[in-house]
Structure 1
Amino acid sequence: MKLLMNQLTKNLRTRSLASIAFLALASCLSAQTEIVVEAAPAEEAITLWTMFQQGGWAMYPLLMFSVALVGLAAYCGLLIRESRFTQPEARDDLRVAISNRDADAGLAACAAHEGYMTSILELGFQTVQEGHVTSSAVNEALEERASKVLAKPLVFVQYLQVIASVSPMMGLLGTVSGMVKAFRNIASQGLGKPELLANNISEALVTTASGLLIAIPALMAYFYFKNKYMAASSGIYEQIGSMTRLMAKHGMVDESNKSA
């Protein structure tokens, strides 16, 4: 009996020691896990500024292109307006001046209503003031003036096409620069530092994406304003032809092709 009690006591002691060792090991592992979790660096949030820094030097000209795109789009929106081309508010004054065969009143109306159409018709009234002229001479003078006046807004629209063409090329140049840096790092340090290679590849991809993000809206803005310009130019030529026929109708110009 006494031997049995000694055996049970020995077993209990062994189990107690094992339990204590297990609890101690679990506590150590838990503490190590907490230390690892606390030591793990927080993931950096990706912002526009972070991407700008990752893009490298090519992001600076791309930033200039993006600012120029916004400014040009706003300016083209102001330049290419139908009211600025056809000027409906000036038609009544111009028609009254033509009906009265008063070139001075026509010039005054053109000065009072600044715009593309009045700037073109101003030359027509000046031509009438110089003497008896034919409608063909007036038409020729107006077409020459129209080609000069309407060239200004078209120039700014074409700048949008320049931005749309150059931006992806600049992004591609940044891509080539990033890949060259990546291969240089591989050649000098091997593949032991993948973070350097990742930074170079990130530079290459960010510049490509940035160039496309600028080129796509620039191309859309170009076609939008170009189509709007073509429609407005067609309307202004119709208005000029109508005014010229009205001049001939009221005797301000001779309808014949030869001067009297």
Structure 2
Amino acid sequence: MTQKLVSRKGFTAAATVVATLLATPQIFAQDAAKEATLLNRWVLDGGPTMLFIGAAVVAFIALAVYNFMNLSKAKYCPSDLQAALMEHMTACRVRSAIELAASHPSYLGRLVAYAFPNIDATQPETLGRDQVEDAIADFTNNESRKNMQWINYISLIAQASPMLGLTGTVIGMVNAFATLRTAGAADPSQLAGDISVALLTTLWGLINAIPCIVVFFVLKNKYNALVAESVHTAEELLNAAVATVNADTLYAKIPEGIAE
């Protein structure tokens, strides 16, 4: 009796496993059919215009990843370079500071290497501050044109995506009216495909444009913050050298009692 129960249980388990294995392809086929239906309904039914919108989506993702990787403190104003330059400028080793900056590929390094050769030792009170600040302004303007172009491309995609969606909308409406003219009656089943094209392209154009706008302003603000930090660091380095050169004169100008 026990052996019969065991054999029945084994047979039942084996049958369950076999049924599951047989049903698995059907389950996957149903899932694949559902995915294909969703893909057609939400993407492919948008028509040829969806190819251009899809290219805009891919371009946006690539530009966003590139800019987020490029806009880092290590590439603009690294802390180790700040400390090393401050040590040189506090000791008035301007030439050593310029050589160190020129060997560093960061934004701050290139800024210091470009601007600090304008330091004028014949003007001990300012060390040629006006010339240095003019050089800093020239450098930031030149660099802004090169670095902002990759961020501005995201703004371009944000503006172009709704236009692509609108193009698909116009194409869908033109086809819808052409269907009406041919059929001679407003049959919803005949117009459904053309209306789907009109709505899907508009939808995906907006879906791509909205995050483009957000990411554009985030990247722009991040870039401006990194540049501002680099410029502020350069000004602090110059102030450190000026303070060292004019240390005795500076303290001599402080009235008695305030220095304490």
Q: Same fold (TM over 0.5)?
A: yes
C-alpha contact (below 8 Å) 1:161/1:219 kept by paired residues = yes
Q: How does 1:176-187 map to 2 (within 5 A)?
A: 176-187=170-181
Partner residue, 2:100: 109
- Tell me how far apart the structure 2 counterparts of residues 64 and 163 of structure 1 sit (CA, whole Å): 10
Cα distance per residue 1:216-259 (max 9 Å; x no partner): 1111111211222232232222112111212323449xxxxxxx
CA RMSD of aligned residues (A): 2.8
Distance (Å, rounded) in 2 between the aligned partners of 1:66 and 1:46: 22
Unaligned segments of structure 1, at least 5 residues: 1-41, 253-260
CA separation in 2, counterparts of 1:49 and 1:82? Answer: 44
Name the structure 2 match of 1:209: 203
Q: Is the 8 A contact 1:103 1:129 kept in 2?
A: no
Q: Secondary structure at the match of 1:150?
A: helix
Structure 2 vs 1, CA of residues 192 and 168 (structure 1 numbering), >3 Å: closer, same or farther?
closer
In the alignment, structure 2 segments of 5+ residues that lack a partner are: 1-32, 247-260
Pair 239,151 (structure 1): closer, same or farther in 2 beyond 3 Å: farther
User: 1:126 is matched by which residue type in structure 2?
Assistant: P
Q: Summarize the Cα distance change of 1:135–1:72 in structure 2 as closer, same or farther, 3 Å threshold.
A: same
Q: Deviations over 1:188-233 (max 9, x none)?
A: 1233864431111111111011101101111111121122223223
| Preserved CA contact (<8 Å) 2:73 2:226 | yes
Tell me if structure 1 keeps the 8 A contact 2:90–2:237: no
* In 2, Cα distance between equivalents of 1:154 and 1:180: 39
Of 218, 222, 239, which aligns to 2:216? 222
CA distance in 2, matches of 1:118, 1:89: 11
8 Å contact from structure 2 (residues 103, 109) kept in 1: no
222-231 vs 53-62, greater mean Cα deviation: 222-231
Q: Which of the numbers 86, 108, 111 marks the counterpart of 1:95?
A: 86
Secondary structure of 2:237 counterpart: helix
Q: Distance in 2 between matches of 1:69 and 1:130?
A: 49
Q: Give the counterpart letter for 1:207 in structure 2.
A: T
Quick check: 2:166–2:201 contact (8 Å CA) kept in 1? yes
Residue aligning to 1:199: 193
Aligned position for 1:257 = none
Q: Deviations over 1:154-195 (max 9, x none)?
A: 222222121111101110110010010011011012338644
* 1:73 lines up with 2:64 in the alignment: yes
Partner amino acid for 1:248? V
Letter in 2 for 1:121: V
TM-score (norm 2): 0.72
Tell me the amino acid that sits aligned with residue 72 of structure 2.
R
For this pair of structures, how many residues does the alignment match? 212
Q: 1-side partners of 2:41 and 2:154: how far apart?
A: 28
Q: Does 1:58 align with 2:52?
A: no
In the alignment, which of 168, 186, 189 is matched to residue 183 of structure 2? 189
Q: Which of the numbers 231, 243, 255 marks the counterpart of 1:237?
A: 231
Q: Partner amino acid for 1:242?
A: E
